[in-house]
Amino acid sequence: MGEKGQAELSWKDRFAALRNLPAFFRMIWQASPALFLGNAAVRLVRAAIPALTLYIGKLIIDEVIRLSGQTGGDAEWLWTLVGAEFGLAVLSTALGRLTSLLDGLLGDLVTNRTSVRLMEHAATLDLEQFEDATFYDKLERARRQTTGRSFLLSGVFGQVQELISVGFLAAGLAVYNPWLLLLLLLAVIPAFIGDNYFNQKSYSLSRSWTPERRELDYLRFVGASDETAKEVKIFGLSNFLIDRFRSLSGQYYLKNRDLSIRRAGWGTGLTIIGTVGYYSAYIWIVARAVNGGISIGDLTFLAGSFRQLRGSMEGILLQFSSLTQEAVYLQDLFDFFEIKPLIHSTEKSLAFPSKIQKGFVFENVGFKYTNSDRWALRNLSFTLTPGEKLALVGENGAGKTTLVKLLARLYDPAEGRILLDGHDLRDYDLIDLRRNISVIFQDYVRFKMSAGVNIAVGDIDERTNQPRIENSAQRSLADSVIAKLPGGYEQQLGRSFGKGVELSGGEWQKVALGRAYMRDAEVLILDEPTAALDARAEYEVFQRFARLTEGKTAVIISHRFSTVRMADRILVLESGQLLEIGSHTELLAKAGRYAELFHLQARGYQ
């Protein structure tokens, strides 16, 4: 399944993943230099508190013993020490709260900044990349890394803080007996090795199941969504979807359960080994105190230091395992940012012509989709002259939509080239090219936003230009739809959010058509623009569309020949190749494929 069998994380992989941390720290710094520095300073102070608290505790105990034995103790000094310890306790609590606050604020900023950067980068990538399953797995893994960065942030800062604390505590132990440090390592290393091994297994399982997790998310959506509810109920799909989800989630549960059981068993045994090491050191410390080699205060300090050191070092080593794993996951995000689009502007790109002079020329254009052996288009040659209205006709899968995507340079040809006014389409500035081509696809997006914004997406920079939005709605017949909405142009569309209103298919299509009128483009492309409209609305839309496209180039895809015959020329595609091209009258006279399809549809209305 998916990526199963992928190599597991080795120590080399883990240490290599640490190279991601400088880039991660740059992300944190860029989010807020002030919060970054404040967090570092607070943690530095907190790092010294544990050793200082233990040492003051030792002094207090020794002073109490001197006072109780009438051996010259100083009561004032004792209460000063007690006050100092109390002050450190209060300071530690306050700094802990402050650290959590700074971690949370920084984490939110980093999450927001990373999410924006991911969306910005995704916007530069090619449509064909989004249609590739392998790419989509990378995108999904990267998207997961935009959230939960607070854990890695606080974890890395916490590691540095713990290391400084360990340095202070280890120095205290070394003064009494350096061999205690060796016993300490023996106490913590077994549990660390075990935890690292099972973290590695967990990472491998999680990563290899990326496609299946996406399928589980999809099944959850399809099984409980307003967009799919009709088909799910009508076709009785609930049991099918539930069974598939239960089967897939059950497989993952069993694999994860087996891993969890083995982890718990081994973890218990290795922890016992560590406990034996700890109590060996503790026995040595107690024996020294009984023999008079160290004071009771020293006993308290050493026992407390050893216990805290053990906990800190276990935490550091185990956290290190988790952090390197998180750092490896972070690589998914950085890998996504390294993906480059294949379709882009050249360094000396041309501006789109203010007025098209020669038109578009397709020269032996061929294209096939990734992971497909079938050519979607092949040997396609024709000219689209300035101001011409061209209709594309053909059965589903003939290549009509692929052709218009090539025209808008959502794809680049695999063979041949497309010229605009004598220059290869690749030579034009990509943003300028797409700004001058307005496309309304059959599978247009129904944005869960206001009615006004749904029209304004045709030229989103003009979203505050209310007169233009209303004019576009009037020309696409969407004004009558919006007039019935309680909130008018501010009405939320779709039921995903509060007080949202759902539209019918035909109403949505009128709103989507408004986008074509919003953009003052040189080329207009409508892919099945009236499929959900009744005959009267379709006729009126195209009468208005004819006025809109005066002096402009237009491409129309439609299965309705009442619409097609309005075009200047009709291009008939079959299996990705040009079969016929000409006017409605010319093609009927040829008595070819177009005439056959036209008469078949005409008989359906008789």
H/E/C letters for each residue in 349-390?
CECCCCCCCCCEEEEEEEECCCCCCCCCEEEEEEEECCCCEE
CA atoms of 195 and 322, how far apart (whole Å): 9
Element (H, E) at 148: none
Query: Of 336-340, 527-531, 547-551, where does the model show the most confidence?
Result: 336-340
Residue 587 CB partners (closer than 8 Å, separation 6+): 570, 572, 580, 594, 595, 598
Q: Residue 553 phi/psi, 5° resolution?
A: -90, 135
Residue of 309, 265, 64, 365 lying closest to 164 (CA atoms)? 309
Q: What are phi and psi of 437, to 5 degrees?
A: -125, 120
Note the CATH number of domain 360-445+520-604: 3.40.50.300
Query: 35: helix, coil or strand?
Result: helix
The pLDDT tens digits of the residues spanning 19-28 come to 888 888 888 8
What's the whole-number mean pLDDT along residues 289-308? 78
- Spatial CA neighbour of 297 closest among 87, 78, 83: 78
DSSP state of 420: E
Residue 7 pLDDT grade (very low, low, confident, very high; cuts 50, 70, 90): very low
Confidence of residue 8 (pLDDT cuts 50, 70, 90): low
Instruction: Give the model confidence (pLDDT) of 56-97 as tens digits.
Output: 888 888 888 888 876 666 788 888 988 998 999 999 999 999
The pLDDT score that the predictor gives to residue 429 is 93
The H or E element spanning position 77 is: helix 75-124
Using a pLDDT cut of 70, give the percent of the chain over it. 87
One-letter identity of residue 145: Q
User: Which residue in 425, 403, 285, 297 sits closest to 350, CA to CA?
Assistant: 425
In this structure, of 35-44, 335-344, 388-397, 582-591, the range with the lowest mean pLDDT score is: 335-344
Secondary structure element (H or E) that encloses residue 66, with its range? helix 33-68
Structure tokens at 558: 């439609």
Q: Tokens 């949505």 — which residue?
A: 508
Least confident of 30-39, 81-90, 275-284, 452-461: 275-284
pLDDT tens-place string over residues 546-589 = 666 777 898 988 877 877 888 899 999 999 999 999 999 999 99
DSSP secondary-structure letter at 450?
Answer: B
Q: What is the pLDDT of residues 131-161, one digit of tens each?
A: 777 787 778 777 777 665 666 777 788 888 8
pLDDT single digits (tens) 116-125: 888 888 888 8
What's the pLDDT score for residue 549? 73
- Those residues whose C-beta lies under 8 Å from the C-beta of residue 602, and which sit 6 or more positions away, are 561
Whose structure tokens read 């994380």? 9
**First-residue to last-residue Cα distance in the chain:** 54
Give the residue with greater pLDDT, 534 vs 54.
54
Per-residue pLDDT for 472 more than 80?
yes
Asked if 510 and 531 count as a contact pair (C-beta separation under 8 A), the reply is no
CB 300 within 8 A of CB 57: yes
Q: Which two tokens stand for residue 186?
A: 């023996």
- Residue 191 class from Cβ within 10 Å (0-12 exposed, 13-18 middle, 19+ buried)? buried
Q: Are 245 and 237 in contact (CB under 8 A)?
A: no
| Residue 258, phi then psi, degrees to nearest 5 | -60, -40
Q: What angle, rounded to 10 degrees, do the helices at 149-176 and 296-338 form?
A: 150
AA letter at 482: I
**CB 355: neighbour CB atoms within 10 A?**
10
Question: Under a CB-based contact definition with an 8 Å cutoff, are residues 59 and 297 in contact?
Answer: yes
Distance CA 60, CA 82 (A): 7
Q: What residues does each domain of the chain span?
A: 23-176, 177-293, 360-445+520-604
pLDDT at site 187? 67
pLDDT in tens, 305-324: 777 777 777 677 667 767 77
